[in-house]
Amino acid sequence: MRTGTLIILLLLIFGSLYPQETDSIHQNREVRYDETPNLEPVDFDTSLIEEYKNSKEFDYITTPEKDSWWTRFKKWLNQKFTQFLNWLFGDYEPNSLLAIIIKLIPFILLVLLLIVIAWLFSKLNPGERMLQEPSAGEVFITEEEKLIRNEDLKALMQEAVRNGEFRLAVRYYYLNELRKLDRLKLIRYEYQKTNQDYTAELKDENIRKHFSEITKFYEFIWYGSFQVSESDYKLAEKGFLRMETDLNSLGHE
């Protein structure tokens, strides 16, 4: 016991006599002073600082934006749809086949809706029927063509005169002359042709002159926005009678 105590005392004595290392950092520490002459305090522009504070470019505080009514409506709709599916199918595994089918239901409904809209548009859209080409055997006849081909224009003209419809009587008179010229093969009647085209087709000078005259009467009376009197009709009738006289002089009836 004494021997152990003696050994401890010797270690303490010799340990305290061992020189400790000098702290180089503490030894070499040196205080330096700024010796720059004429130093002035920095002056900050407070208005510029306030400008930076109010600028959005330097505003790094992010505030969450509120959902719009449309976003809230979609969330509400999605929530109700999920509740309906849960009520309909009950609980199901997230990765099961039923879960995949449920996720596809909105897209399937959207496709079906688009198909129904396209079908209704094709059935109810009148423009499609207008753009369709007519069938090969279908022929469209205008009112003017129908009158020239099928109606008794002289009877219609006389009836219009009796009823005081002198503008309509002049129209029937003129169409009757066109039909007569077509049947005599002096012109070839076609609806898309103009009255000037018919005038150019006439070879006889007198007939061409009088046809040009009754054409002016017809266009003035039929397309004019005024009341046609009986005297106006009588004046136009004289031109039609001269036209028929020329045809008779050539041996045409």
User: Residue 113 belongs to what domain range?
Assistant: 85-124
Q: Is residue 53 part of a domain?
A: no
Given the structure tokens 């224009």, which residue do they identify?
153
- Assess whether 215 and 243 both reside in one domain: yes
Domain co-membership, 148 together with 243: yes
Q: Is residue 201 assigned to a domain? A: yes
Please list the pLDDT of the chain residue by residue as tens digits (253 residues): 555 555 665 555 555 544 555 555 455 667 676 676 676 776 767 777 777 777 777 676 666 677 788 888 888 888 887 777 777 666 666 666 766 777 777 788 888 889 988 888 877 765 555 455 444 334 344 677 677 776 788 888 888 899 999 998 888 888 888 888 888 889 888 878 888 998 999 988 888 998 999 999 888 888 887 888 888 888 888 988 888 888 777 654 4
Q: Is 20 within a domain?
A: no
Q: Of 124, 151, 174, which residue is a domain's last?
A: 124
Q: Tell me whether residue 221 is exposed, middle or buried, using C-beta atoms within 10 angstroms of its C-beta: 0 to 12, 13 to 18, 19 or more.
A: buried
Question: What are the residues whose beta carbons fall under 8 Å from the beta carbon of 67, sequence distance 6 or more?
Answer: 75
Question: Do 90 and 185 fall into the same domain?
Answer: no
Chosen domain end from 124, 153, 172: 124
Do residues 153 and 175 touch, judged by C-beta distance below 8 A? yes
